[in-house]
Amino acid sequence: MTMLSKSFPAALDIMSDVALHPAFADEEIKRQQASRLASLVQIREDASQLVSRITAAALYGPENPSGYLEIGTEASVKATDREALMNFWKTHYSPANAALVVAGDVSAEQLRTLAEKAFGGWSAPAPVASVAAEPKTTAARVVLTNKADAPQSAVRVANIGPPRSTPDYPAIVVMNAAFGGLFSSRISQNLREEKGYTYGANSRFTFQRASGVFAVRSNIRTDVTAPAIGEIFKEVEGMRAKPVGSEELTRARDSQVRSLPGQFETNAATAGAFSNTWIYDLGFDYYRKLPAQLNAVTPAAMLAAARKYLDPQTLHVIVVGDLSKIEPEIAKLNLGTIEHRDAEARVTDK
């Protein structure tokens, strides 16, 4: 929640009421279901969103929660009722696995008093930690979904990445800044500036408590989809071939260090940043240490991160586009087995 400082005590009471006494009113459930079902229709029609759905399914499989978008599926949304929501709340909401993170004009002593008043009576057993099934990544190297007459192809070149707690996090984010994280990165300069294949291309590591995802992302002109994919793999090989130069290192490293203050520009951003230290078990001194860790990243460390996490043999190509125009050329890249999926991310014959 975000509120005026003078409203904080009353707002905290409302927050505790929401957390401790959820209503799950039938009319609200129906409203949310209708909204989500409409959004799922939009996802099927939007290649940029659909490719995210296909990528999640291809990398994680149907048994892992990360194999689905957070919005769910049509079947799961329709099947969710008040009883299911109440059971989930009873199972997972507990003071034993919760934290209250506050940033604003309130002292620790004041906050302790207010928090005790709002949440002191909260009593619930500690939840049993759930263990997700291991990711079951498709054996296919190329996953294609048809969207007839699409003027662009939504492209992902992706694999499963490390968890947020990985000790080489500083080297990963600095390496990725040079590879595809910045507008001046290799991916952007190649696909956008030099080739003119796209308006924008980037790469990103999405971190979670468990495994995350690394992905190069772009919407590519249909007629140059295959060449663009080839160029992405060319840049992957280049990043793994030799250490970056001093200018590229400085640009990538400085971008990460100098962006840190932006995570504390507002109270909401500050609360979010410190929430991450708790969610990912990073320690409360994490942001005090991080600038030095980022500044200590060397070309050798970046090269090691690239060779570890940008392995062309484990990268999967996921494309949503007009297959009648792009599949023959993609096949000529000889990347490996081609798999077809429909708009529900299900494997199909074609």
pLDDT in tens, 251-291: 999 999 999 999 999 999 999 999 999 999 999 899 999 99
Q: How confident is the model at residue 313 (pLDDT cuts 50, 70, 90)?
A: very high
Q: Tell me, what's the pLDDT at 251?
A: 97
Same domain, 30 and 85: yes
Same domain, 197 and 276: yes
Same domain, 107 and 188: no
Same domain, 156 and 285: yes
Same domain, 194 and 251: yes
Specify if 228 maps to a domain. yes
Is residue 37 over pLDDT 90?
yes
**Token duo for residue 89:** 């709340």
Q: Tell me, what's the pLDDT at 297?
A: 98
Is residue 350 over pLDDT 80?
no
Burial of residue 20 (number of CB atoms within 10 Å: 0-12, 13-18, 19+)? middle
Same domain, 328 and 188: yes
Half-sphere exposure of 224 (CA within 13 A, CB side): 13
CATH number where 251 lies: 3.30.830.10
Domain span holding position 76 = 5-45+65-119
pLDDT tens digits, one per residue of 46-96: 999 999 999 999 999 999 999 999 999 999 999 999 999 999 999 999 999
Q: How confident is the model at residue 128 (pLDDT cuts 50, 70, 90)?
A: confident
Half-sphere exposure of 32 (CA within 13 A, CB side): 15
Q: Which residues touch 34 (CB under 8 Å, ≥6 apart)? A: none
pLDDT tens digits, one per residue of 186-199: 999 999 999 999 99
Closest CA relative to residue 44, chosen from 144, 151, 147, 154: 147
Same domain, 249 and 111: no
Same domain, 111 and 215: no
pTM: 0.93
Q: Which residues touch 112 (CB under 8 Å, ≥6 apart)? A: none
Same domain, 224 and 108: no
- Give the number of domains in the chain: 2
Same domain, 155 and 193: yes
Q: Tell me, what's the pLDDT at 169?
A: 97
Average pLDDT, the chain: 96
Give SS3 for 204: strand
Specify if 233 maps to a domain. yes
Q: Tell me, what's the pLDDT at 131?
A: 83
Same domain, 109 and 162: no
Same domain, 262 and 319: yes
**Alpha carbons 341 and 34: distance in angstroms, whole number:** 26
